[in-house]
Structure 1
Amino acid sequence: MGNLMEILRICFSANALVTGIVTIGLVTIITYISFILERKVSTASSFFKKVGINIAEMLLLLLMLLLVTIVFKSLTGGSQVELGGLLANAELTILFYGLFIFNNRLIILLNVFLPFLYHPSSDISRIQGPYAWLFIVSYLILIIVIDYLYSHKEVLAISNYRYLSSQMLFGICWWIFIWIDYRFPLVDIIGMLILFEFYMFVVRIIELKMSTYMHAYNDLENKVNYDALTGVRNRANLNKVSKEFFEKYSQSSVPLTVMMFDIDRFKEFNDHYGHEIGDEVLRHVSHTVERELHVDGSQGQLFRYGGEEFVILLKNVDTKRAQEIVNRINQTLIEMPLFIQGTQLDVTLCFGVTMLRKTDESFDEIFKRVDEYLYQSKNNGRDEMTIEGKIFQYEKVPMIKI
């Protein structure tokens, strides 16, 4: 009975309450910042960008651990055992959550080597003593848990059972290390382990709630900035990005090329085959163009301006290279036609192409110019491009394999 009361006292003390509030607050901050950082990383991101984000995440985790330590220095009530145990619980909660929330190998390495780094774990006697076998077994289990956390994040995100099992094993292994080093009374160890599980239970609820809100935010952002039919950026996003690009490149030596294209005789597809087939044509064209914009690292941005009209922004690309991209888009449409119900639909495009000029006072001037060039291509017979007022026929180019 006395042991049970001691466990309850540890779990429901004022210090435990303060610890829980601080830890949960820090976890909330970590979740929000991780969401921001992870969104900046994609499969197309450069190696140095990924390394920079990983270092930022590592520094964030270390900062959170430092803040927990600072808070504990202000807690003067309670025994040294209690305060030390609460601090360890807070740190373990942040470490485990960092493993789960970040896809970061630096944090993995930190967790792998930490059992040998904290004081007095570096004392070799722990491995030579009577509990060496217990330390080794616990460490091996911890490594398995860490590896599982890193390689099964998607499973853990939807499986409460596996998530809770992983955190329980993580906490047990660490409290075995702490017991070997400090010989805390067993009742205190049990109390702290229960408290750790409670912290992680609350953290799990917060993580699930925040994930729901953040996915809802992503969905809303996609609806605002992306075209629902084709999946490419929409006109509203073009208005925003074009202003940003103009401000950035109007006084820069880096070239900015703007292209506008139209699907030739699109109305005939709708009238002859129906609007559903017309939608398939729009999707086929947008997906083909999107692929060709990234196949050679051009990183162009495609926008659906309205109807069958699209706009492309190409930074650090001049009109000569833009012409090569247009030729490649045309050739891909020829070699990879759209088939609907066994019928081949030959889709052609006409383009207008222009570059940002030093005399342009706004993006509207660029847009009016490229729109004129597009209609020049249309009026000349379609299935061609007009670059800075000069009409060009499409040429065959070597296909780039990916």
Structure 2
Amino acid sequence: MRIPYWLIVLAGIAFMLLNGNISQPLSWVYTGLFVVFYVFSYVQSTHLWRWPFTRYATVALGFALPLWYLVKMRFNLSWSTYAEEMINYMILVSLMYGYFKIQDKDRRIKDRLFQSANWDALTKVQNFAAYDRAIGYEFRRSAGHDADLSMVMFDIDHFKCVNDTYGHLAGDEVLKRVASTVASTLKAIDPKVVLYRTGGEEFNIIFPNYDVDQTREVAQRVFDAVKNLTISYNDVDINVTISVGVSALSVKDSNPLDFYKRVDANLYHSKQNGRQQITVG
């Protein structure tokens, strides 16, 4: 756990004041050692060094010996009591290490499940499940606070021809490059705007607090970025374009699906009228 070093020092001083031993030199030495102990422990916990348990136990024992020796001196403990406390301490250290490993494994499993549930494995952008939650939240927020909300939907023109002509691996490469290009373009404009892959070659972008004119400008930059993209696959250069639909939330939209359908209708209009264009409505 990251705690500012100065706060550890202040906590140690406060503890000495509370116990009335701030004038004792041994208390200051103990507090200083404890702060250094924390620093060492934190640094090693943030680095993936080899032999983690050996390092963990060595640091714990290396600082426990002088810390408990100061306690022995302060309270005139016997050597047998000192040894017993050290043995108990190392047992606790081993148990705590096992507990931390279990917690770390559990966290990693949860992270992988979260990634699988919310991110598209191929394009590395968020998926339909993430989009569904986000649009539900933004719809309620916009309706409740009378805030602007716009959306862009696009898909890759003639994507089936890419798969049929160059193979599905080429199609995968096109999806990845288009997604990364659009994501980079959005990040440069507004890092808060998120790209979602909501279908095979279909993508959505939600624009909280954007009116339709602002969204149209961003859609044009996304459109141009993809149009200027050349994707190389097996010594073949593949050029792709996108068809785009843009719309803003309307008072007629009673739920997120109504909003989605209108944006989708604008996308369909672009596709039916020659593709490679943006329809706003």
TM-score between both structures, scaled by the size of structure 2: 0.86
What do residues 37-94 of structure 1 show as CA deviations (whole Å, max 9, x unaligned)?
A: xxxxxxxxxxxxxxxxxxxxxxxxxxxxxxxxxxxxxxxxxxxxxxxxxxxxxxxxxx
1:146 aligns with 2:52: no
Q: Distance in 1 between matches of 2:215 and 2:50?
A: 43
Q: Is residue 115–residue 121 contact of structure 1 (8 Å, CA) maintained in 2? A: no
Q: Flag as ranges the 4+ runs of structure 1 deviating above 6 A.
A: none
Q: Is residue 126–residue 181 contact of structure 1 (8 Å, CA) maintained in 2? A: no
Residues 143 and 298 of structure 1: CA distance in aligned 2, closer, same or farther (over 3 Å): closer
Q: Is residue 116–residue 122 contact of structure 1 (8 Å, CA) maintained in 2? A: no
Q: Distance in 2 between matches of 1:326 and 1:275?
A: 27
Match of 1:118 among 9, 15, 20: 15
Q: CA deviation at 1:148?
A: 3.4
Partner secondary structure for residue 359 of structure 1: coil
Match of 1:220 among 98, 110, 113: 113
Q: Which amino acid aligns with 2:246?
A: V
Q: Which amino acid aligns with 1:124?
A: S
Q: CA deviation at 1:151?
A: 3.3
1:261 aligns with 2:158: no
Match of 1:359 among 247, 252, 260: 252
Match of 2:267 among 365, 374, 380: 374
Q: Distance in 1 between matches of 2:24 and 2:90?
A: 30
Q: Counterparts of 1:3-402 in structure 2 under 5 Å? A: 102=1, 104-106=2-4, 108-119=5-16, 120=19, 123-126=22-25, 135=29, 139=32, 144-152=36-44, 153-155=46-48, 159-388=52-281
Q: Is residue 151–residue 248 contact of structure 2 (8 Å, CA) maintained in 1? A: yes
Question: What runs of 5+ residues in structure 2 fail to find an aligned partner?
Answer: none
Q: CA deviation at 1:381?
A: 1.9
Q: CA deviation at 1:242?
A: 2.2
What do residues 334-362 of structure 1 show as CA deviations (whole Å, max 9, x unaligned)?
A: 55532223433222212111111222101
Q: Distance in 2 between matches of 1:148 and 1:125?
A: 25
* Bigger Cα displacement from structure 2, 378-387 vs 295-304: 295-304
Q: Is residue 263–residue 348 contact of structure 1 (8 Å, CA) maintained in 2? A: yes
Q: Is residue 260–residue 310 contact of structure 1 (8 Å, CA) maintained in 2? A: yes
Q: Distance in 2 between matches of 1:309 and 1:280?
A: 15
Residues 260 and 112 of structure 1: CA distance in aligned 2, closer, same or farther (over 3 Å): same
Q: Which amino acid aligns with 2:257?
A: D
Q: Distance in 2 between matches of 1:155 and 1:280?
A: 33
Q: Which amino acid aligns with 2:170?
A: I
Q: Is residue 245–residue 266 contact of structure 2 (8 Å, CA) maintained in 1? A: yes
Q: CA deviation at 1:227?
A: 1.9
Q: Distance in 2 between matches of 1:205 and 1:248?
A: 44
Q: Distance in 2 between matches of 1:341 and 1:144?
A: 57
> How many positions carry a matched residue from both structures?
278
Partner secondary structure for residue 56 of structure 2: helix
Residues 105 and 342 of structure 1: CA distance in aligned 2, closer, same or farther (over 3 Å): farther
What do residues 246-270 of structure 1 show as CA deviations (whole Å, max 9, x unaligned)?
A: 2222222221111110011111211
Q: Between the two structures, name the one with larger relative contact order (CA 8 Å, sep ≥ 6).
A: 2
TM-score between both structures, scaled by the size of structure 1: 0.62
Identical residues among aligned pairs (%): 26
What do residues 274-300 of structure 1 show as CA deviations (whole Å, max 9, x unaligned)?
A: 000100111111122222222233412
What do residues 79-136 of structure 1 show as CA deviations (whole Å, max 9, x unaligned)?
A: xxxxxxxxxxxxxxxxxxxxxxx2x243x33334544442358533416xxx99xx38
Residues 248 and 202 of structure 1: CA distance in aligned 2, closer, same or farther (over 3 Å): same
Partner secondary structure for residue 201 of structure 1: helix
Q: Distance in 2 between matches of 1:231 and 1:199?
A: 42
Q: Which amino acid aligns with 1:110?
A: L
Q: Is residue 266–residue 308 contact of structure 1 (8 Å, CA) maintained in 2? A: yes
